[in-house]
Chain A
Amino acid sequence: MEALLRELHQGPDGIAEYRDTEISGAELTIGSGTDQRIQLLGTAVAPEHAVIRKSGSKLDLSCRGGKRVRVNGEERSSAHLEIGDVIELAGHQLTIAEPPGGFDIAIELRPNENIDASEFESAFRTDLGQTWLSKRPAAWLLVAIVLIVGVVLPITVIVMHRAERELPAWVPGDEFWNSGPLSPAHQQAAGVRCDTCHKEPFVRVQDDTCMSCHKTIHDHVSPEHLALTQLGPTQRCATCHREHNEPASFLVNSSDAMCVDCHAKSNEKFAQLHVEPVSGFSAKHHPEFKAWLLKPNVPPPQTSPASGGGQGGGEFEWKTEIAALDKAVEQSNVKFSHNQHLDPDRVLRRGDSQPLNCADCHRLEPDGEHFEPITMENRCAECHELTFDPGAPDRQLPHGKPREVVLTLQDYFTRKFSDPNAGRPTRERRRLPGREEEEQTCTGAPFDCAMRSAHAEIENQFTRRGCVGCHMVVDTKSDSDFDRFQVYPIRFARDYFPAGRFDHRSHQIQGKLTGDAACLSCHKAKESQDSKDLMLPAMGKCEECHGDRPAVERVAVQCVSCHSYHPQLTVAVEAPES
């Protein structure tokens, strides 16, 4: 397309000047850009505003997207151009004229003389606002993303879950609202279902929900006890047990504040419940330890054969007695000296002849706190045999069954005096004070001799040599050998501090002390001559190493280091008979 452009100007002297330019090209572009065939300046002119094309013999004008021009006074975005048409754009006037020979189109341009050269800037995109960047659409886009991902999707999932509708596995679900990791066990139980615990929207997790799995947990105070106090309802589980925290393993609020909040003012708040106030772990703030002891209720000696003998006649009742440590007396009924057993000059271990260690008798249970119950069979018998006749070292008396002891001895001597194959059947042994052994001759009937010997040996065992070594034996002076001696049963407390937890295992090494030295640093066994000694350390001993707040050379302990908020089922005071 060949075009002739005639630019008309008002000269300085008022005479019209014109300048002709020949343009050739496929199309005639109009705009403010420098690369436009017809460059028109002005803020209303886009860098690329319109274009004139020749189609056949006609001329078509079309504007770029959204732009407009005035054609013969009419706003148009496209038009067929005829000779004489006038196009107006930002004060510029283009008139289509009859083209001279050789030209397809002739345009007379009257530029807007009022346009300042400075508006030349509009020929370029010089501001970020003219680019694709824009604040409003970006804001809407971002808001939409936030709303979809952060609100719509989670709420849809919540609604679906509440309607028990299955969701495809790939749906991200409402975990996008998860404020932090769950502890692994809870994570496993809840999976991606927040409503496992969060049953109702805008309602905090209820205790019932916790209890639906934790069925065996007990409340800190029983409802009956709580009713006696001026305390309100117990705290929510979640008061102490915080989830969605980091680290994920953090699940228990172990701060003392929660405990001390009530217990510091137990005098006022606990009303009829007598609990000593506690506000920390020091002599000033914590009551001294009290031991839970077993106290035997000794029944009066009975001689009735129906009693079966051996259990002290009537039933022995054991009651729990709580006593201050300095007044506490162990009443296990055993005769035992720790001092003696730990003295290498007097007692050596059977087998390797080494001095006894604490652990030879006291074996820690897997819980690290308690010790295996000590019984005759599992501990003492290793050294202490119940032989009664040096001539028959393989025969032992049964332990713990006085009636059978009597029967055994009677049986033994009956056989001894009546067995024709036994050597020297008419002799009976009798041990006398000052003399190791003396043999006497029995001249009566073998059965009488046997009974006499048995009677003597029974008396010997229960009063001088056997049972009485460890047991308290009461002589009822009964005529019957079966009823005469009553042996007090032995019981050891399993846990002197059932309200407290003490990890023996972690205390087996205390600073530089290990082994027996560690045990003996708290339990003064080497000084104990009598089984009445309790040998339990007072709180001051704990305070040598522990305090309720971090300090130099002190290991900080909290209430829950020793005490359990949730009551344990008490195995504590009872122990199997020994």
Chain B
Amino acid sequence: MIHRNLLLFRGARYLWWSLVLLIGSGVLYATQGNVQPPNGGTWQGYVLGSIGALLILWLTFLGVRKRSYKTTMGSVQGWTSAHVYLGTALLIIATLHAGFQVGWNLHTLAYALMIVVIFSGFFGLYSYLNNPVLISKNREGGSRAELFAELFELDKESRSVSQKCAPEVGIAVASSIERTTLGGGVYAQLFSGDESLYVRGTGAPVRNIDQQGVIDFVAERLPRAQKGIEAANLQHLIVLLCRRQAVLRRIRRDIRLRGWLKMWLYFHIPVTFALLFALTAHIVSTFVYW
């Protein structure tokens, strides 16, 4: 499993690297203080800051490494493992560099951006550890395309069966299919928003959350069915609609899990670029006003 390999890559080799780096940084930090309060301006502060800046550059370089397939500089898996551990170490190293001092300034802005990047990374790590398992469980081994193909078939079948029923049933089922929403905007994808509607007899479409409305509508027709064939059709239709409901649930859940799996990157990547510029400005401004 990828997530095991990610954290336990080569016996968590980079965990140990990070711990050694952290211990070194802690010692550096502790040797400050008798001259002036710990901050980025002591020689220890400069060293910690340099380590932090180099780490940020290297961590950013994962984006390049991921895309260069010909390189022989270690596996992407190893790089990602190191990325996680050293990124976590960066959080502490940068905090020590700052000497826990914050203010409304460029320096803290760079720090804050770094925090956003690292914590979005933590969320990404959490998602990569959890969601793939949930996704594959939800799909039961199939692919998303298969779920959609099934949905498509069920749509067609439902339409054709509903045509054989009373007109209002036909309208309700056709409208429920037409007005089924899946995914959509950011909120709808991440929180399985369901704006589905169906036409209940006449008038404006009504809510059809989780397709329950149309199922109930059809089910209510069942006791009133007069001919055996009508009841059979309705029953068949209910089975189809319920299967459709189940498939839609799976697809919604799939969209949601995949959405959360990717969501963090929309913070992680853009903020990383902002961080690179803020970091450069931080370093340059420090030496402009040396």
CB pair A150 B106 closer than 8 Å: yes
CB pair B259 A128 closer than 8 Å: yes
Q: In the complex the two chains form, what is the Cα distance from A124 to B184 in whole Å?
A: 7
CB pair A145 B105 closer than 8 Å: no
> Of B3-11, B74-82, B223-231, B260-268, which stretch is located at the interface?
B260-268
Q: Which B residues are in CB contact (< 8 Å) with A150?
A: 106, 109, 277-278, 281-282, 285
Q: Quick one: given A117-B153, A121-B144, A131-B185, are A179 and B286 in contact (CB under 8 Å)?
A: yes
CB pair B182 A124 closer than 8 Å: yes
From B155, B185, B266, B287, A138 is in contact (CB under 8 Å) with: B266
**Which residues from 97 to 117 on chain B have a C-beta closer than 8 Å to any C-beta of chain A?**
99, 101, 103-107, 109, 113
The 8 A CB mask of A418-455 against B (1 = contact, 0 = none) is 00000000000000000000000000000000000000
CB pair A202 B287 closer than 8 Å: yes
**A271 in the interface, Cβ–Cβ < 8 Å?**
no
Q: Quick one: given A142-B271, A143-B274, A257-B35, are A118 and B146 in contact (CB under 8 Å)?
A: yes
Distance in Å from the Cβ of B127 to the closest Cβ of chain A? 12
Q: Quick one: given A118-B146, A124-B182, A202-B290, are A142 and B34 in contact (CB under 8 Å)?
A: no
Q: Which A residues are in CB contact (< 8 Å) with B109?
A: 146, 149-150
CB pair A126 B35 closer than 8 Å: no
CB pair A247 B289 closer than 8 Å: no
Q: In the complex the two chains form, what is the Cα distance from A116 to B128 in whole Å?
A: 30
**A34 in the interface, Cβ–Cβ < 8 Å?**
yes
CB pair A179 B105 closer than 8 Å: yes
CB pair A139 B273 closer than 8 Å: yes
Q: In the complex the two chains form, what is the Cα distance from A142 to B116 in whole Å?
A: 13
Q: Quick one: given A121-B145, A181-B103, A194-B289, are A133 and B273 in contact (CB under 8 Å)?
A: no
Q: In the complex the two chains form, what is the Cα distance from A255 to B189 in whole Å?
A: 60
CB pair A147 B277 closer than 8 Å: yes
> Of B20-28, B88-96, B133-141, B172-180, which stretch is located at the interface?
B172-180
**Which residues from 37 to 70 on chain B have a C-beta closer than 8 Å to any C-beta of chain A?**
37, 39-41
CB pair B36 A250 closer than 8 Å: yes
Distance in Å from the Cβ of A38 to the closest Cβ of chain B? 12
**Which residues from 232 to 290 on chain B have a C-beta closer than 8 Å to any C-beta of chain A?**
251, 255, 258-259, 262-263, 265-266, 269-274, 277-278, 281-282, 285-290
Q: Which A residues are in CB contact (< 8 Å) with B152?
A: 117-118, 120
From A118, A194, A255, B145 is in contact (CB under 8 Å) with: A118
Q: Which B residues are in CB contact (< 8 Å) with A34?
A: 155, 177-180
From A117, A138, A147, A177, B105 is in contact (CB under 8 Å) with: A177
**A500 in the interface, Cβ–Cβ < 8 Å?**
no
CB pair B35 A255 closer than 8 Å: yes
CB pair A253 B36 closer than 8 Å: yes
CB pair A205 B290 closer than 8 Å: yes
**B166 in the interface, Cβ–Cβ < 8 Å?**
no
CB pair A203 B290 closer than 8 Å: yes
The 8 A CB mask of A50-75 against B (1 = contact, 0 = none) is 00000000000000000000000000
From A135, A194, A201, A204, B265 is in contact (CB under 8 Å) with: A135
Q: In the complex the two chains form, what is the Cα distance from A146 to B179 in whole Å?
A: 44
CB pair A179 B185 closer than 8 Å: no
**B16 in the interface, Cβ–Cβ < 8 Å?**
no
Q: Quick one: given A120-B152, A242-B36, A255-B35, are A178 and B179 in contact (CB under 8 Å)?
A: no
From B107, B189, B270, A126 is in contact (CB under 8 Å) with: B189
CB pair A126 B277 closer than 8 Å: no
**B151 in the interface, Cβ–Cβ < 8 Å?**
yes
Q: Which A residues are in CB contact (< 8 Å) with B151?
A: 120
Q: In the complex the two chains form, what is the Cα distance from A250 to B155 in whole Å?
A: 74
CB pair B288 A202 closer than 8 Å: yes
Of all chain A residues, the one with the shortest Cβ separation from B42 is: A242
The 8 A CB mask of A508-550 against B (1 = contact, 0 = none) is 0000000000000000000000000000000000000000000
Q: Which B residues are in CB contact (< 8 Å) with A135?
A: 265-266, 269-270
CB pair A146 B281 closer than 8 Å: yes
11 extra A-B contacts, CB within 8 A, seeds A126-B182, A179-B103, A245-B39? A118-B152, A120-B151, A126-B189, A128-B189, A128-B263, A135-B270, A141-B270, A142-B271, A146-B277, A176-B106, A179-B286
16 contacts between A and B (CB under 8 A): A34-B178, A119-B145, A120-B152, A121-B145, A124-B182, A125-B185, A126-B144, A134-B266, A139-B269, A142-B271, A142-B274, A150-B282, A178-B105, A179-B103, A202-B287, A242-B41
The 4 closest A-B pairs by CB, nearest first: A118-B145, A142-B274, A138-B270, A139-B270
